[in-house]
Structure 1
Amino acid sequence: MEITRQPVISFTPSAERPVSGSSERTGSGPVTPVSAPAAVKPGLEQIHSALGQLPQVDLDKVATLKAALAAGSLTSDSASLAGAMLNYHRGER
């Protein structure tokens, strides 16, 4: 089994909304819906396209691994797994 890095998806808003001092509602008028600023929408589109590029889940492989775990026939080498995890977090392959 190979551990591979997934693309990092980050979102940085171009402008932050000021936070009001009170979170209580007053009965002084209708509630106006708030829409996202136009600058945020391209960021959401980038996130959506990045998610679309991620690999699909192989459900047959998942079912095979679940069956092996349930049967107790799946073995692992903890030293090899720990090394792979360290390499992954160091950015190595």
Structure 2
Amino acid sequence: MEITRQLTSASLAASESAKTARGERVSPVTEPSAPAPVNDSLRLDEMQETLRAMPDVDQNRVAEIRRALLNGELSSDTSVLATSILSYHRGNDA
């Protein structure tokens, strides 16, 4: 799942009116593109079915990580983790 940041139409209108008041050039708002062709929607349906068939959690990976934690093979740096979390929520994740 991807999280995107989108402006609402009210935010866009406020932004455009502020630009107009400052004398800045306002680019026209484009309408959403036409619906995807039928073959793309069929492909999307196939991908969704594949995702539904997959387990929610990869139990083999969980067991591997658990084993690494118990054996002390996995280290964690809380500073790096905190920086990563903050970066993600600020929209700086690259």
Return the TM-score normalized by structure 1: 0.37
Q: Relative contact order (alpha carbons < 8 A, sep ≥ 6): 1 or 2 greater?
A: 1
